[in-house]
């Protein structure tokens, strides 16, 4: 029997300090190791859902419940949710001057595990993982995302994913704005995460490029804050060929 990892019940979300409701009763269940795709037109609420699951303070939960690893995380902060084993790769990763990529990842791992990591062991694993992503090793000693190209920022996000080894990763349009080679490298990293960690995925995307190498367990179509259709990977193919029109008109 499949082991439930994430359960979202009747999630109603608005922008913090505003009356604007974005999500209107979303239900979602993800079992351990599954790959779920979340698709929808611009403004549907996809990124809001991903950010809310991670405890983003920009959003307010008006109703509903989020359970992760059997624990109610509805009111938990982002750092506590991250410690439990959830991760998000942002659509537009922020620059953090003064903190190197290497130190950021090492500190994140130690905060998650509560254990000290020997520097030699950490650097050895970091170097090996950067090689998988075809990343210039000098980026490890550069300030996080400062002066990085769009592709290198996305690679840095996937590097964090592979090093942190979360049980659930939310990829928020990780393939957005990347050229073919960068998408291929990022996809290779996501494949490595599935193979080595066996974690679950929520892939938020407009396109299908990053999905080509993944076995999709379920697809959810979000329109105007509501999940209007669910099914297998064939929905991705349908949207890729015909767009969202029929889902918008439901």
The H-or-E segment that residue 113 falls in is helix 101-113
The pairing of strands 168-172 and 200-204 is parallel
Q: What is the dihedral of CA 177, 183, 189, 192, to 10 degrees?
A: 140
CA distance 49 to 8: 10
The pLDDT value given to residue 58: 93
Question: By C-alpha distance, which of 209, 241, 233 is closest to 35?
Answer: 233
The pLDDT value given to residue 121: 95
Helix axes 180-196, 119-132, angle to 10 degrees: 130
Does this model's pTM top 0.85?
Answer: yes
Q: Using the 8-state DSSP alphabet, how is residue 250 labeled?
A: -
Backbone angles phi, psi at 83, to 5 degrees: -60, -30
The pLDDT value given to residue 207: 66
CA distance 104 to 96: 9
Q: What is the dihedral of CA 144, 150, 155, 161, to 10 degrees?
A: 70
CA distance 202 to 30: 9
The pLDDT value given to residue 62: 96
**Contact in structure between 158 and 183 (CB atoms under 8 Å):** no
| Predicted confidence pLDDT, tens digits, the chain (250 residues) | 679 999 999 999 999 888 889 999 999 999 999 999 999 998 999 999 999 999 999 999 999 999 999 999 999 999 999 999 999 997 778 899 999 999 999 999 999 888 999 999 999 999 999 999 999 999 999 999 999 988 899 899 999 999 999 999 999 988 777 778 878 888 889 999 999 999 999 999 876 777 887 889 999 999 999 999 999 989 998 998 898 999 988 7
The pLDDT value given to residue 185: 84
Backbone angles phi, psi at 95, to 5 degrees: -90, 140
The pLDDT value given to residue 217: 94
The pLDDT value given to residue 187: 86
Residues with Cβ within 8 Å of 176's Cβ and at least 6 positions away in sequence, in order, are 91, 205, 206
């Amino acid at each position: 029997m499949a082991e439930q990892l994430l359960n979202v019940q009747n999630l109603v979300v608005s922008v913090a300090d505003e009356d604007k409701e974005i999500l209107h009763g979303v239900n979602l269940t993800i079992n351990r190791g599954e790959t779920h795709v979340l698709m929808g037109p611009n403004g549907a609420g996809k990124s809001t859902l991903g950010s809310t699951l991670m405890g983003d303070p920009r959003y307010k939960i008006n109703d509903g419940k989020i359970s992760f690893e059997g624990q109610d995380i509805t009111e938990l902060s982002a750092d506590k949710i991250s410690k439990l084993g959830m991760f998000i790769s942002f659509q537009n990763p922020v620059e953090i001057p003064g903190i190197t990529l290497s130190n950021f990842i090492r500190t994140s791992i130690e905060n998650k595990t509560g254990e000290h990591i020997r520097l030699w062991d950490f650097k050895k694993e970091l170097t090996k993982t950067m090689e998988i992503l075809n990343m210039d090793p000098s980026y490890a000693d550069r300030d996080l995302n400062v002066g990085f190209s769009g592709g290198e920022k996305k690679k840095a996000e996937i590097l964090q994913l592979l090093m942190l080894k979360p049980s659930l990763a939310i990829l928020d349009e990780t393939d957005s704005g990347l050229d073919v080679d960068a998408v291929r490298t990022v996809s290779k990293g996501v494949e490595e995460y599935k193979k080595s960690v066996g974690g679950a995925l929520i892939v938020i995307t407009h396109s299908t490029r990053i999905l080509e190498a993944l076995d999709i367990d379920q697809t959810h179509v979000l329109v105007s804050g509501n999940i209007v259709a669910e099914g297998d990977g064939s929905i991705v193919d349908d949207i890729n060929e015909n767009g969202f029109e029929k889902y918008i008109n439901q």
